[in-house]
Amino acid sequence: MRDMKVFIKRINPDAVIPAYAHEGDAGLDVCSVEDITLGPGERAVVKTGLVMELPANAEAQVRPRSGLAAKHGITVLNSPGTIDSGYRGEVGVILINLGQAPFSLHKGDRIAQLVFAEVARAEVVEADSLAGSERGTGGFGSTGIQS
């Protein structure tokens, strides 16, 4: 695996440049630039005050923070969110409160993680038929618990 260079720019003076918390971490912590309270069942796009430039063959995946999810029911609604290499707008994180109490976020709070990945481009070919497989059309739990 090779390293990837990602350019990040602050568009808000309160923005925090994402960073790895520990050596070996897969995700960089992303912070909020706003104070917001999410009631139970509420969702919001939380601003980060950041824009980025990714290599042409890359994406940034926005993922939940496990502590927020486990302790408070706060997660990334479209997990993982995808930031495409051509996007130059502000990075926003769609958070939802699946907990039972209101939860307040403040400027500088870590709200999500960014994981960077190379993207393979697929050549899509329309076909009249497909090769069979052992699994066939089984899906949605077909290989899981049997009753």
CATH label of the domain that carries residue 84 = 2.70.40.10
Q: Please report whether residue 146 resides in a domain.
A: no
Residue type, 117: A
Q: Please report whether residue 24 resides in a domain.
A: yes
Q: Does pLDDT of 1 surpass 60?
A: no
Q: Domain residues for 14?
A: 7-117
Q: Please report whether residue 144 resides in a domain.
A: no
pLDDT digits (tens, 9 = 90+) for 35-72: 999 999 999 999 999 999 999 999 999 999 999 999 99
Average pLDDT along the chain: 94
Q: Please report whether residue 141 resides in a domain.
A: no
Q: What are the backbone angles phi and psi of residue 51, rounded to the nearest 5°? A: -125, 155
Read off the pLDDT of each residue in 105-128 and give the average, rounded to a whole number.
96
Read off the pLDDT of each residue in 97-106 and give the average, rounded to a whole number.
97
Q: What whole-number percentage of the chain has pLDDT above 90?
A: 87
Position 141 scores a pLDDT of 73
Overall number of domains in the chain:
1
Task: With beta carbons less than 8 A apart as the criterion, state whether 93 and 46 touch.
Answer: yes
For 47, which DSSP code?
E
Tokens at 106, concatenated: 């403040």
Q: Please report whether residue 27 resides in a domain.
A: yes
Q: Please report whether residue 102 resides in a domain.
A: yes
Q: Please report whether residue 76 resides in a domain.
A: yes
More confident residue, 29 or 137: 29
Position 147 scores a pLDDT of 58
Q: Please report whether residue 51 resides in a domain.
A: yes
Position 22 scores a pLDDT of 94
